[in-house]
Amino acid sequence: MEFRLLVPTSTPSPAPNPNPPLAPLPPSITLSSTTLTLSPPLPLSSPTRPPYTCISYVWGTTPSPTPHPFFPGVVPISARTLPVLRTAILAKNNSRSAAAFWLDTFCVPAGEPQRRATLESMGYIYSRADEVLIVLERAVGGVLKRVARGGGEGIGEEELRVLEGDGWVTRVWTYQELANGREFWFVAEGEAEGLVRGEDFFNIVGGAMHRVEKARSRGGHAGFNLDKEFPRLSELMDMLADCYVSPYSARSAFLVMTHMHKRGAAVTQDVNNFFYAMISAISTEASLGLWDASLDDPAETFMVLCERSNDFSFIYSSDGRDEAKGKGWRPKGGVLPPIFAWHTWGEAQRAHRAVGGIWLEEMLSLTPAPTMEHQGKKRLLTWLRRPELFEQDDSVSAEATIAWLAKEGFCQALPPYQSELDQMLNKDKQLFHLEKYLFLSDGLFVPQRPLEQARIRRILIATQIRWVFGAPGLVEVNASDRVRIVPGIFVGSVMTADAMSVLV
């Protein structure tokens, strides 16, 4: 990678210099009486590296009429870039001491392979910064000033909708910047005096969201849902909570996949940047050529890095499986969406390779049951808040579970995947009845796609990666040519005492 910073320099004198330097002065930017220049590449292990602030912002779609000061004609510059940098300079002068800045527009090199290596090393860059300054759009300046004054009482539904309108949380890089930053600050462009510490933003805005939810509930709006009304703010609160309560070592690949995909639009922006951000969220090492340069597929790079750190939780993706012999457990690529995007915990899915497959550690190995047991059904319906269904047939509880999963974003594959199912399960035989769900003694397993129960070999449930209501899992299906793997969702009680290592 190539590591450069915007560093302060003395402001050039307007008077003629009778003794001009032998070489021309390097290009520079002068904003708010501060002149910055781009440093030469800095040694990664240098003890004299200045403290620096990483600046995070939305580029926007409007180009700047000002050419790039360091790479003119090569790298575009956004109309927001210089105003954002000016805001950062003024905010620094107000209360913080970092002497230099890292800003992607200026500090990411233009040429390859340095550019790719630097983008792969964003985790390194952000984890070593003294702070991350998040510059939101001008429209939120008034709200941030209220937050900066320390009182959440003046933050109501109208103010929350102003914050919701800012697109920063939907950026592809947002999660890794928060996950790796030591300290966060929020400020609005052009409003440097409204500087808000990340913890204060989290507490005050989060408190305001809960007050609005309670007020709406008391007012008879029973269907009011914070996640639906404020999807961007809700996801930001989830990310901040994760950053404050989860140490770096406890951040699984599955958690990273979940946060990256919950923001929806991020994956459509640029698939390479999407995976660079995923890589940076799981690794804070600089790219020094240690990664396999032949891995042109960024999804493959991400999975290889996860395997090297002994975290195989990426297997709980809804992407199709690898067709290579002994790799049917492994996603074949794509954008690796999680089987279900819900807040998860657990450090990793540990595993080790074996001839012809992989040993997954601490798994439950189960077989379908005709019905759920009493306690399993009771716990499931307690989670769903549907106790009135207890005396009804188990199929009613199963359909209610699938309806809740669908409401929260799970999409069970149905035709036009029929031809794939024909090939996968029956080939030359007539397709038998397919099950949308499978009963287990302690709950319910919902596969990504309906399956023929007679062909199911076993159901594997994770105990190291969890949701509050259950865990991701895999189902092994006996096909005509091999055992196939289909991911799915277990809703019920995870009995960790029965966990074991299983070969798939």
Burial of 430 (0-12, 13-18, 19+ CB in 10 A): exposed
Range list of β-strands (E), 21-113: 28-31, 34-38, 52-56, 100-102
Torsion (CA) 486, 490, 494, 500 in degrees, nearest 10: -10
Q: Kindly tell me the number of DSSP H helices and DSSP E strands found in the chain.
A: 17, 16
The C-alpha atoms of residue 457 and residue 326 are separated, in whole angstroms, by 17
pLDDT at position 11 is: 44
Q: What is the pLDDT along the chain (504 residues), one digit of tens a residue?
A: 889 999 988 644 445 555 555 545 568 888 888 889 999 888 887 777 888 999 999 888 888 888 888 877 777 788 999 999 999 998 876 555 567 999 999 999 888 888 888 888 899 999 999 999 999 999 999 999 888 887 667 788 899 999 999 989 888 888 888 888 888 999 999 988 889 999 999 999 999 998 888 888 776 655 667 888 888 898 888 888 887 776 555 689 999 999 888 765 455 557 888 888 888 888 888 875 544 555 567 888 899 989 999 999 999 999 989 888 889 999 987 889 999 999 888 999 999 998 889 999 999 999 999 999 999 999 999 989 899 999 999 999 999 999 999 988 887 765 334 445 455 545 434 444 678 999 999 999 999 988 888 889 999 999 999 999 999 999 999 887 788 899 999 999 898 999 999 999
- 470-478 and 456-462: which strand pairing? antiparallel
Neighbours of 480 (CB within 10 A): 13
pLDDT at position 423 is: 52
pLDDT at position 151 is: 67
Q: Is the peptide bond before 40 cis (omega within 30 degrees of 0)?
A: no
Q: Decide if 162 contacts 174 (C-beta within 8 A).
A: no
pLDDT at position 227 is: 80
Angle in degrees, 0-180, between the axes of helices 298-308 and 271-282, rounded to the nearest 10: 10
Could you please report the per-residue DSSP string of 367-388?
Answer: ---SS--HHHHHHHHHHHT-GG
Pick the closest to residue 279 from 248, 246, 257 (CA basis): 257
pLDDT at position 93 is: 66
Render pLDDT for 456-490 as a digit per residue (tens, 0 to 9). 999 999 999 999 999 999 999 988 778 889 999 99
Q: Decide if 101 contacts 6 (C-beta within 8 A).
A: yes
467 HSE (CA, 13 A, CB side): 22
Alpha helices in 283-417 (DSSP H): 298-308, 374-384, 394-407
Q: Is 253 helix (H, G, I), strand (E, B) or coil?
A: helix
In single-letter form, the type of residue at position 79 comes to: A
DSSP at 13? P
Q: Is 133 helix (H, G, I), strand (E, B) or coil?
A: strand
pLDDT at position 248 is: 54
pTM above 0.75, yes or no: yes
pLDDT at position 239 is: 85
Distances (CA, A) of 293 to 113, 283, 290, 308, 462: 10, 17, 8, 15, 32
pLDDT at position 429 is: 43
